[in-house]
A = this chain, B = another copy of it.
Amino acid sequence: MTDATARKRGRPRRTESDAVGTRDRILDAARQQFSESGFEKTSVRAIAKAAGVDAALVHHYFGTKDQVFEAAVEVAFAPAVKVRDAVLEGPLDKAGERMTRTIFGLWENPVTRKPLLAIVRSAVNNEAAAAVFRRLISTQLLRRIAGELDAPDAELRAELAAAQLVGVAMMRYVIKIEPVASADLEEIIARVAPVVQGHLTNP
């Protein structure tokens, strides 16, 4: 079998390809709406309008608004895999710095900041969104990092480490309180990474 044949045979049929395009357009629109307006003020109708489809199609592909949110955020949660890999790849005594740099990298980048803002704004104000966020952060991030720590209190350690980073991100990127909002990123990392490391591995 030549490469060309493989490509041809691997290419989805036209209808499948259209469906994938529509799903992606709906998810993009959903992420945009949820990050701008938060969970409560975003309607399936607004998502459908932004995606250029009928609201019934959004329901057809994803179900309820909760389920649209979960799908949108789950994709946006792909960066969590980066955080987890950053923590797990390399010596454990530098895991705190890798975790700190990866999370601030996601917040500093405008493309990944948007879904993060959507998650924070939605989870703080809505129980359904908070439940999705809880489930994703536990299964995608905390449990996997904890699995590498080999300590009975590993999940608590991972979560307190994450809490330091969540708190700094809230003050720097969400509420924007000085001096943290404008401080040099390297200075913040120099102060925060040892704390994250301490939560993860201090005896």
Contacts and interface: CB of A to CB of B under 8 A. Distances in A.
Interface of A: 38, 40-41, 120-121, 123-125, 130, 133-134, 137-138, 142, 155-156, 159-160, 162-168, 170-171, 174-180, 183, 187-188, 191-192, 195, 198-199
Contacts of A163: 164, 167-168, 170-171, 180
A160 B166 contact: no
Chain A binding surface SS class: helix
> How many identical chains are in the complex?
2
A178 B192 CA distance: 23
17 contacts: A120-B124, A138-B177, A138-B178, A155-B179, A156-B180, A156-B187, A156-B191, A159-B177, A160-B168, A160-B192, A162-B171, A163-B167, A163-B168, A163-B171, A164-B195, A166-B167, A167-B168
A120, A174, A191, most chain B CB atoms within 10 A: A191
A160 B179 CA distance: 10
Contact of A159 (B142, B171, B174): B171
Contact of A124 (B125, B164, B168, B180): B125
B168 A134 contact: no
A155 B171 CA distance: 13
Contacts of A124: 120-121, 124-125, 170, 174-175
A175 B123 contact: yes
Contact of A160 (B38, B41, B156, B191): B191
Closest 7 CB pairs of A and B: A167-B167, A163-B167, A166-B167, A163-B168, A159-B180, A164-B164, A156-B179
